[in-house]
Structure formats: structure tokens, C-alpha cells
Amino acid sequence: MWTLEPRSDAPLIWQIATPIMAVIATMLTGALLFGLMGYDPVAAIRTIFWDPLFGASAGYSRPQLLVKAGPLILIACGLAVGFRAGIWNIGAEGQYIMGGIAGAAVALAAYPAEGWWIFPAMVIAGAFGGWVWGMIPAMLRNWFGASEILVSLMLVYVAQKIAAWMAFGPMRNPEGFGMPGSRNLSQYASASNPEMFPGTGIHWGVIAAAFAVFGVWVLMSRHIRGLQIRAAGEAPRAARFAGVKPSALVAFCLGLSGALAGMAGLFEAAGPAGQITDGFGSGYGFTAIIVAFLGRLHPVGIVLAGLLMALTYIGGDIAQLMLQMPAATVQVFQGMLLFYLLGFDLLTRYRIRRRVTA
Amino acid sequence: MIDLTTLIVMILSAATPILFAALGELIAERAGVLNLGVEGMMIAGALAGFAAAHATGSPAIGFAVAAIAGAALSMIFGVLTQYLLTNQVATGLALTLFGLGLTALFGKPYEGVKAPSMAQGPLGLNWIIWLGLLAVPLIWWFLNRSRPGLILRGIGENHHAAHALGHKVRPVRLAAIAFGGAMAGIGGAYISIATVLQWTEGMTAGAGWIALALVVFSGWRAVGVLAGAWLFGGVTVLQLRLQAAGVNVPVQLLAMAPYLVTILALVLISARRGSASPGSLGQIFHTTS
């Protein structure tokens, strides 16, 4: 018989090894799945994980890596802070959508004026929109004790309906021949979020993500608030005795993750997506949850995890094109990866010992 | 307007999917397991049940297959949380994402296919509605009057105490998770086989999350789940009726109603009752003996 013995510390070697093991296990299971579905497993794995970086059309797909990783990293950074404290914001998708709408609203109100102030105002509005959407579950939890998990998730559906309403109603492009969807912001110079250096995929969202990574690292490892967050997550009672106010943490974590998700939404609305449409929310908010866990809730890990997830998105697109593989394949991959990651994490938290039976 | 009988049938029908899913989750949570994968298990049941019903022409077989599919998927969660001691919130979330992805992947061939028609039961209600109504007193009796139910509640309230008394915490929880999965599967299949009559990607549209909220709303009681399901069914039907009646409010705003009502209900219940949740809910059970 085997027994599990809790570790008092989490060895660094396992912290680094388990995500890598999870990725390998996902690839192997994925290959098996592809084989069963009648695809060549080796070709499929190579198309998803290798071709976006080094394949024939890598010149086009490589910049996409940062375009996709930017919002994922930006959102995941905020989520990771809350997850560390045991505050579960799983409604980042809704905060992302509301940020996009709020930012686009500023641009559409200013149209067709041009000015240097428009884009910064949009960023602030985007962050504000996401912050408000994150503060609703925070306040409902603090005032009434309502579960932030369920409220934040419900608000995703509400945000999706608002996006649809905006696309068909108030924000519909008056020159769009009746088609749903707002004006295209990428054709509006003062409001657009273009690629800054040709061929890199870097736009303002990627820069913001870089700042968020650094900021979260400082917060969690150098700031008293970060210490409080870690204490609240690992020993809630001890944290309370030390004077950490749970309600302040809830508001801080949900507000921060909401604001970052909202900014991600704005950068997307002004850049790669270009407009608010019925289906503006594209799942970044949910994938970012996987990114946060895969990155072990640590800023450096999140960067690597965000890049890997972006790779699977792009690889999935290529596989769809080249191998006629369904688009949902990537979703299955991401779910599987999270399962393996959580499972392998056992090795970080426990020591496996052979039980000595008498 | 429509007559009262039709209205009641519509409400009962709209309430059935979340009634099943919430009753299943109720059992899991009373055993101390918080499974956020309800949405994933529902959508798996919706596809598996639809596919089986379509292949055999029998809705009954469809529902049976849906229950098996939901239970099978829930076992991923069960093994991970009970034996590999993973965080239940994260694992449940992974189950939902996985279920949505898996069904999107395998559901493509079933798009645009029609479901076989279901037989009407007594009083113009199909027999799945009846089964759901019957499940409420049965589950009430199981939890409050039967010995296995008492053990299950004991494990949910304090798993260490139950373990010390010699009860098998993990097998009981695994069974509760499987039951939750089967019920979610049936609830999901009701949407595809009995209400929408076809398969579309992501068709459960948050019903699993509403079911989770319903368990909180009910105060972890079977009768409360039924009341909540009817309330939700009423709001859904009202919203659809208003849409059909051409009220001067955008359709998308009316469609928010079920989610907003769920939030409102959560707030009211949480404020009034505080937390009546099982003592060991969501906690990892680890023992060396």
C-alpha cells in the first residue's frame, strides 16, 4: 500500500516539473485521441505545437503568438492574485466583455473627433468597465455573503446579452447597412490599437500585459498587500488574527482582476477584434483561468503558460485549415491540460511513501 | 393569452432540467463535495442523450445513456478530487471547460438533426417531468429518514468525525458524485431531447450554473430545490412570453432575466440565512490511516 504524506514546503523542482509533465501527458493523450478520430497523431501534434513557430507559414503565425498571449496574460495576472487568496473570480469573461464595451463607448461617443486623449480615455473606461463588473460580485459577497463564484459567472451571461444588445441596438454602425456590430475602431485612427512594430504582434495590450506581470510580481513578493493575500489563502484564520480584513481583500482582488480583464477587452475591441459584435467574448476569460493555474499563479509562470495557450490557439487554427480538424479540439486540449496539471500537483504537495504494514 | 394549464406545463417543463441537475448536486454537496462541473456534465448528457435517442429512435434509451455519460464524466472529477486530492473549485471548472470542448468536438455530425418525439404522460406532462417531481420526495426521504442518507450527511458535515466512526468517506463521496453526474446528464438531455428538440453547441447556456445557485438558494434541502426550480421556470417562461408578445424591450435584455433573478435570489437567501452549507463542503479529505 502507498500513503500520502503532506509536505511542509513545495519543492521548487516539482513546481517546475509538474506543469511540464502535464503538457507532455496532454500531448500523449491528445495524440491518442487524434489517432482514434482517424488523424495522423504525429502530424496533428506537430501542426498544433511546432508549425506555428517553425512551420512553412510561421512568418504569419509567429506575431499572432503575442496577439493571443497578451490578453490571456493580462487577465491571468489579475486572476492569479485572487486565486492566491482563495477568492474565485471565474467571471473574467464578463469583465472582459464589459471593458470592451465601455472602452468602445468612449470611442464611439468621440467619433469622428481625432485627438491624442481618446485612446488613453478608452483604456481608463475599459479598466473601469471591467472593475465595475468585478466589484458587483465583490460587494454582493461583502454585504450579503453571496458566493462570488456563482455571481461572477452569472454576470458573464448578462454581459454576453449586453454585448448582443449593443451590437444590434445602441452601438450598431449607422453606416453598416443594417448589419449588427459597431463601427470598426481599427479604421478610426485616434481609437485604434494597431500593431506597433511590424511583424512582432506587439500592440498596447501586450505592453500592458508586460507591466501587469511586473506589477503583480512586485505586489506579491515585495508589498504588504501581497503578503496579506498569500496569508489569507494559506491560513485564513491566522490572517484574520493578524488584522487582515477579508472584505477589503475581496474588493481588492475582484476589483484588480476585473480592471485588468476590462483593459484586455478594450485592447481587443480597439485592436484585433476591431468592433463590438454579438460574439465579442471569445473565451479568453475562461482560458485565462487555465493560464493562471498552469503558470502556478506566479507571474513568470503565467507568461510561459500564456504563450503556450496562445500557441495551441494558433496551432488549432492551422490544424483546422490544414487537417480539417474541428475548432473545438483546442478546447478539449485545454480542459485536459488543466486536469493533468491538477492531478500531477499531488507530487508537489505530498510525498508518496510505501506504507510499512506490520 | 394562453390558458393556465398550458402555462403550468410550460413552467414545469422549463424547470425540469435544472431540477434534475440541482437535485444531483444537492446529494454531492450534502456529502461535502462541491462540483462546479455541473454545466459540463449537463452538456455531455445533452449530446450523449440526443445521439442515443437519434440512433435508436427511443428517448428512453437517450435519457439512460445521458445518465451514464454524465456519471462517467463526473468520475474524472471524482478520482481527481478524492484520490489525487485536487482543489474542488479548480477541478470542477476544468470539468465544465472539458465537457463544453468535448461536446463541441463530437457534436458536429448531430447539428441540424431532429430528435425523436417523446410520448406524453398523464396530464399532458411527459414522464421525465413526472420522474423529476417524484425524485424530490425520494431524495428528501433518503436524506432525512434513511440510514445511508444519515451517513452521507455525516460525511458532509464533518468528514474526520465520520471517518473516525468507521464510515468510508471516499467511496460514499464517489457514489454521490456519480449520482450528481447522472442527474445532471438527464437534466441536460431533457434540454436537447424534450425542449429544444435538436443539438446545438453550448446549448445548456448556463443551466448548470443556475442549478448550482439553486442548491445554495434551497438551503441544501430537496423541497427548496423544487421551489427554486419552479421560480426559475416561471421567470424563463415569463421572459419568453414577453418576447413573443412583442414587448417594447430589446430581446437581449429580456433574455438576461433568468441570470439576474438567480443573482437576486442568491443575494436574498445569503443575506437572510447566512451560510447553512455542509461543514466539510469543498474541503479536501486526507488521512494517513
How many Cβ atoms are within 10 Å of A336's Cβ, its own excluded? Answer: 23
Residue B11 pLDDT exceeds 80: yes
Residue B279 pLDDT exceeds 70: yes
Helix, strand counts (H, E) of chain B: 12, 0
Residue of A nearest to B274 (CA): A145
Distance, in Å, from the CA atom of A127 to the CA atom of A121, rounded to the nearest integer, reads 10
Of A146, A169, A339, the CB nearest to B250: A169
A307 in a structural domain = no
Query: Which residue, among A61, A102, A78, A67, has the nearest Cα to A282 in the 3D structure?
Result: A67
Q: For B57-76, b where at least 16 C-beta lie within 10 A, e where not — what string?
A: eebeebbbbbbbbbbbbbeb
Q: What is the ipTM of this complex?
A: 0.85
A36 in a structural domain = no
Task: Classify residue A88 as exposed, middle or buried by CB count within 10 Å of its CB (0-12, 13-18, 19+).
Answer: buried
Residue B289 pLDDT exceeds 70: no
A169 in a structural domain = yes
Residue range(s) defining the domain that contains residue A224: 67-302
Mutation site, B93, B111, B285, interface A, largest A CB count within 10 A: B93
A238 in a structural domain = yes
More confident call, A244 vs B276: A244
A268 in a structural domain = yes
Residue of A nearest to B259 (CA): A154
State whether residue B116 sits within 8 Å of chain A by CB.
no
3-class secondary structure, A51: helix
Report, at the CATH architecture level, how domain B4-273 is classified: Orthogonal Bundle (1.10)
Q: pLDDT in tens for each of the 358 residues of chain A?
A: 677 777 777 778 888 888 888 889 998 998 898 888 888 888 888 888 888 888 777 777 788 888 889 999 999 999 999 999 989 999 999 999 999 999 888 888 877 877 788 888 899 999 999 999 999 999 999 999 888 988 999 999 999 999 989 888 788 877 777 778 787 777 777 777 777 777 777 888 888 888 988 998 988 888 888 888 888 888 888 888 888 888 899 999 999 999 999 999 999 888 888 788 887 878 899 889 989 988 888 999 999 999 988 988 888 888 888 888 777 788 888 888 889 988 888 888 788 877 666 5
Q: For B237-272, b where at least 16 C-beta lie within 10 A, e where not — what string?
A: bbbeeeeeeeeeebbbbbbbbbbbbbbebbbebbee
pLDDT of residue B275: 60
Which residues of chain B lie closer than 8 angstroms to A164, CB-CB? 252
CB contact under 8 Å between B97 and A143, yes or no, is no
State whether residue B267 sits within 8 Å of chain A by CB.
yes
CB contact under 8 Å between B86 and A327, yes or no, is no
Q: How many CB pairs under 8 A join A and B?
A: 139
Distance, in Å, from the CA atom of A16 to the CA atom of A301, rounded to the nearest integer, reads 9
Contact residues, B window 142-161, toward A, CB-based 8 Å cutoff = none
Distance, in Å, from the CA atom of B181 to the CA atom of B184, rounded to the nearest integer, reads 5
- Which residue ranges make up each domain of chain B? 4-273
Which residues of chain B lie closer than 8 angstroms to A333, CB-CB? 101
A101 in a structural domain = yes
Contact residues, B window 160-219, toward A, CB-based 8 Å cutoff = 201, 205-206, 209-210, 212-213, 216
Mutation site, A79, A93, A142, A157, interface B, largest B CB count within 10 A: A157
Residue of A nearest to B209 (CA): A150
A106 in a structural domain = yes
Residue of B nearest to A136 (CA): B263
CA A180 to chain centroid, in Å, comes to 27
Task: Classify residue B282 as exposed, middle or buried by CB count within 10 Å of its CB (0-12, 13-18, 19+).
Answer: middle
Q: How many domains does chain A have?
A: 1
